[in-house]
Every structure is written in structure tokens, then in C-alpha cells.
Structure 1
Amino acid sequence: MKWNKRNKIIVFIVLSIILIAGMVLIYTQSRPTYQNPIGEMTDIGDPYVLKVEDQYYMYATSEPHVGFKVWQSDDLVNWEEQVELAYDHELQEDKWAIGDFWAPEVIEYENQFYMVYSAREYIGSLKIAIAVSDSPLGPFEDVAVDIIPEEGSYIDGHIFIDEGSGQPYLYYVKDNFENIIDGDHVSQVYVREMSDDLLTVEGEETLLLTPDQSWETPYGEYQWNEGPYVLEEEGTYYLMYSANYFASPLYAVGYATADNPLGPFEKAEENPILSEDVENGISGPGHNSVTVGLDNETLYTIYHMHTDPTEPSGDRKVGMDLIYIENGKLIIEGPTYTEQELK
């Protein structure tokens, strides 16, 4: 065979294609991925993920009679349950609660870690408390309990620190266990400012959300807007929440927007933005939080869904999907059930 210029060009092109294909294959095989559900956790609810340096910490409703478990991961996908509870009520000096330890969230603030959670006190009402630790693994110790001064049952505390002003806010829910409006039991989302030490609330409470969109079944005897979580971008505040009964396939996530952390918030017409896909094994996705990906830029929402989609219950597992803001709208690319790239 005579190696003329044309043959050399053809061989060069073929080898280049093979080389590029090999590089693409290597990249595809090496890039991190995830597939819902993540981890092996079951019988949990209300998952919250905090990233500290290169480690992730997950807290959830998990030991409702005594406190909260914590899991650790370096890749958001593979999780290791820690031996010790992050919060153990039996170790507290003031054993103020009798159970129903729900919805823990942990933030890093002024070189310490603050956990906000709710539990049921001895007289029967649900109350919000603050616990502090020097480590995201705990142990967390109570520093303030029953921080909402008004009578009633309160759950799902969410602390949001406004980057612009540095002002902390507490978003929370008046639970429909005691919040009765015109004969209906209604869970509603409220907000109020917090003190700089995160131990007390200040000023009057402001009602932000009540079940009023058609997908939220606002006509039932029991109604829910719960699980608040706030993101801010370019002066707009995005308040996510979950509606409907947590053990129903219809449990789902919506959001509302405002130009002030205190509202007023307007619910999005396109709600819900995360909802069931029972045919593909996803039922009741909700009570979400948000964390950053491996690149420290891409946002992912963490949520629970029913472990058995054919028999929804309080037994739930963890899902994760991409979340972002586009043209002023909050978008969740999910719920997914196939393998996804992890950024």
C-alpha cells in the first residue's frame, strides 16, 4: 500500500475519532452519578443536608421518641450512619419533651452549629427548640426551648440568615393539631425575626402561607402548608413548602416569592414543582431542603418519599434532584428515578 497524503489524512482522522471516543468513554465512566433513592436510609422523614468543607451531614426525623440520627458522606450518595445520635434528649439537663422529635435542621453560625427542631412537651403541645454543638456530628445540647411565646403547637422551624442584612429569621408552622380555623384543622407557615444569638424570636409573627391552591386540597377538614425552606437570589426570596398529608401520594412541594423575607409571599401558578410519579416508584415527595453539590455551586434539593409507593406511610426514604432558578421561576428537575449526573 502506498502511503500518499490522502491515506495519511484518513488514518489521522480515524485515530483522532478513536482517541476522542476513548476520552469521552473515560469521562463518562469516571464522572459521579446518583440514582434515587440515595443512601440506604428508610423509616425517616424531613431530611436536611449540611455541607461543611468537603463533608456532608444529613439529619432527619429518625428517632422520634428520643432525638435525631446523623449520617455522614463525602459524595452526597453513599451515607454512613453514625453510632451516636446527633441529639439525644436523654442526655439533656432539662428533659422537657416526651417524644415526637421532628424535622431537625442544622446551620453553621458564628463558629458553632445550631439545630432547630420540634418536639412534644409534657402538656401535649408541639414546641420549637434550639440546640448547639461545636461539631456537626453533635452532641447537640439544648440552649432554648419553647421559643415561640404564643400558645399553640409549632413545628418545622427553619432558620434563614439574610446575606444582605445579616438578619436571622425563623420560619415555622402552626400545626393543625391545635390551629383550628372555622372548624378545620389548618397548618400555616409563619415568620418572625430572631435575635442575633438565635435563641429568641422578636416582634410580631407574620402569616405567610395558608392552604389555598387547588392541589393543596384546601377544602378538607385537615389541611397542610408545612416544611418551609427559603432561598434568595438577586433580591427575590423563594419560600418552598409542602402541602397535603405526609402519608399521602399527593404530598408535594410548591413555592412562593417575595421581595422581603417577611413577605407578603405570592404562590407560583405552576405549583406543585415536585410531585408524585407512582408509576416509576415515587410517592409523596416533599419536606425538602437544599444543599450544594460537589462543585460547591450546583444546588440540589433533598426530600423524602415513601419507601413503599404502593402503601404510603411514615416510612420514607431520601431523594435528591437538581434545583435552580430560571427567569424568576424555581425549577426542580425531578423527581427522577434513573441515573443522573452529579455535579
Structure 2
Amino acid sequence: MKIFRLVILACLLSPFLSQAQTSGNPIFPGWYADPEAIVFGKTYWVYPTYSAKYKEQVFMDAFSSKDLITWKKHPRIIDTASIKWANKAMWAPSITEKDGKYYLFFGANDIQSDKEIGGIGVAVADKPEGPFKDLLGKPLIDKFHNKAQPIDQFVFKDKDGQYYLIYGGWSHCNIAKLNKDFTGFETFADGSTFKEITPEGYTEGPFMFMKDGKYYFMWSEGGWTGPDYFVAYAVADSPMGPFKRVGRILTQDPEIAKGAGHHSVIHNAKKDEWYIVYHRRPITEKDGNHRVTCIDLMTFDKNGLINPVKITKEGVKKSKL
């Protein structure tokens, strides 16, 4: 009888045990988009946009995990109460650690011209879960440079220790050298501050990482509210480019989800495993804001080019740092 009961218990638990073997997609509940994934110490972190109407996008949550399977929610790490100049459309966070402080870059207000208040801001905290406070009391970038809307910021640390801010909407992308305390920018050798590095097909959502001495520059193409949203990339020898488009590596699967895009990449260096973290829209949803955050494996061919990513319902296997 005891053996029989154990068999029954195993049968009842088997669906849950099997589910725990992978992350599943989405990796946490709720409408979240534009995820910035990063590793701090032995912990994976994801900082997404709260996907709702612009007037409701007045805060951000964060999520952490030790193994990519179980995620802990850290609510309201930043909100408009601490960012006085922001009143809507807080989105596309990007974060970095420097000298024991955590700096969160974000867009706010979705400005359409230089006459409006808003753009790209930066906040600081002592811990990756915040709370984050406004560093400047005003936007870091509040104007259009090279026709790039000041949104979708990504902070990139080069091998020489220089931090860059790569950003831009409206099909234009700029790169700028952050100064040492992230309160402004340094100029390039030619005296300019914002250099355009827009590759062919670029819409928004830039991301950069290094592998084997090469700079992989990635971005999103198409419209974020529609089904045709993609991630493409280029490879160069410098963060300044020139970037020649290689092709798309993340596309929708009509059997699984639509609108796969606005991503980031994380690397488990110990296991040399690469992951792409992105948002997509379930095929059951028609609301443009109904986006969820997902993760899938990202691999490379023998020449270092990124293989097309297969979006899945299962997600990825457990992976500790």
C-alpha cells in the first residue's frame, strides 16, 4: 500500500516536477516588455518596462533569479514620485554598476520635439533592487540629436573601461561617451558629442555585447504594436562601427507568439551559455500592450555569427552562475 501511495504521489507531482526543469515562457507573470537582462555577482536580473498605457507607465519593477527558473519580484524600484520631471511612459531601462553604485538609465514622457520636457534620465541606488533616486533632477538627454528620439537607451562598458550610452528611436541611433560620474558626456576627438551609428533596417531598441574581440550590435526592426517585430544585428571591430547589417535572428512564430523583439543578452561565462531575453505578444492577445518577457537560448556558428533563435514555450534549463 505504501509503494502504491508513492506511485500515485509521483504521478500527481510529475507535471510540476517536469515544469520546474525549465524556466517556461513567459518567465514571470504580468505584462512586461523591453527587458534589460544583466548579471550582478551570482544573480541574474531583469529590468523591464511595465507594459500598459503611457499614462500608467509611472513605475518600474525588477526581477531576480539564481538559476533562471525561479524569479523574485522587486516592485516599484523607481517611480515618478522620485523622478519629478517624469509623468508618463517610463520605459526601456538599462542598468550598470560602477564603484559600488547602480545606475539605472530610463526613458520618460515620450517627447516628440525639443520643446517638450522629457527624454533620457538616470537614477542611482546602493543596491540593484533600488530604491532608485534621480541623479540629476532633470533629463540627461532632453533634445533630438541626429534626428534620434531620446528613448531606448543602453549603457555599454567597453574593454578599456569607457562607458557609452547608445540610444535612439525614430530609426536613428546615436552613441555618446558618458563622463566618469554619469552626469553628462565627454566629447569625441573631433569635438562632437553624439555620433550616429544607425545600421540598415534600424528602428529602435539597441543592444551591444562583446565576444571574441568583436562588437555585436543588435536592434529591433518593424513596429512594436504589430506582429512583425524583429531583432537583427551587425558585427564590427569598434563600438563606433561601421556596422553592416548581417540579418535577423529573432522573429515571430505564428504557433507560439507574435511581435518578438526589444531584447537583451546575458552570458553565463562559467558555462559559456548565451541567452536572449525579449518580449513577445501571446497569439491570443490583440492589445498592443499585452507583452510578456521571455528567454531562449542563443547560439553561434563556427564563424561567430548568431544562429536564428527558436522561440519556445519551454524557455531554458536551470543555469546557476
**Quick check: TM above 0.5?**
yes
- Give the one of 49, 54, 76 matched to 2:42: 54
Is contact 2:58–2:79 with CA below 8 Å preserved after alignment? yes
- Is residue 260 of structure 2 the alignment partner of residue 272 of structure 1? no
CA 1:121 to 1:225, structure 2 compared with 1: closer, same or farther past 3 Å? closer
- Give the one of 120, 132, 143 matched to 1:140: 132
Letter in 1 for 2:244: E
Could you say which structure has the larger radius of gyration?
1
CA distance in 1, matches of 2:281, 2:273: 26
**Match of 2:3?**
none
**Match of 1:240?**
218
Number of residues of Structure 1 aligned to a counterpart in Structure 2: 286
- Give the one of 250, 262, 285 matched to 1:287: 262
**Match of 1:249?**
227
CA 1:108 to 1:118, structure 2 compared with 1: closer, same or farther past 3 Å? same
- Is residue 321 of structure 2 the alignment partner of residue 330 of structure 1? no
Is contact 2:57–2:91 with CA below 8 Å preserved after alignment? no
- Give the one of 55, 59, 77 matched to 1:67: 59
In structure 1, list runs of 5 or more residues that go unmatched: 1-27, 177-186, 214-223
Q: Say which SS state the counterpart of residue 97 (structure 1) adopts.
A: coil
- Give the one of 75, 79, 87 matched to 1:88: 79
CA 1:33 to 1:89, structure 2 compared with 1: closer, same or farther past 3 Å? same
- Give the one of 259, 264, 278 matched to 1:303: 278
TM-score, with normalisation over the residues of structure 1?
0.76
CA distance in 2, matches of 1:141, 1:76: 28
Aligned-pair distance for 1:150? 4.1
Q: CA RMSD in A?
A: 2.6
Q: Please list, as runs of the form range in 1=range in 2, the aligned pairs for 1:58-207 lying within 5 A after superposition.
A: 58-62=46-50, 64-82=56-74, 84-92=75-83, 95-120=84-109, 124=116, 126-144=118-136, 145-148=138-141, 150-151=143-144, 153-163=149-159, 165-173=160-168, 175-176=169-170, 187-203=171-187, 204=192, 205-207=194-196
In structure 2, list runs of 5 or more residues that go unmatched: 1-16
CA distance in 2, matches of 1:136, 1:322: 25
Moved over 6 A (4+): 28-31
Is contact 1:96–1:121 with CA below 8 Å preserved after alignment? no
**Match of 1:209?**
198
- Is residue 43 of structure 2 the alignment partner of residue 43 of structure 1? no
1:1-39 deviations in Å (ceiling 9; x for gaps): xxxxxxxxxxxxxxxxxxxxxxxxxxx979942332222
1:241-298 deviations in Å (ceiling 9; x for gaps): 0011111111010001111111111110xx210000012x211111111123495631
Aligned-pair distance for 1:333? 3.2
Q: Which has the higher contact order (CA 8 A, sep 6+)?
A: 2
Identity of aligned residues (%): 29
1:196-219 deviations in Å (ceiling 9; x for gaps): 222212222221125x44xxxxxx
Is contact 2:22–2:316 with CA below 8 Å preserved after alignment? yes
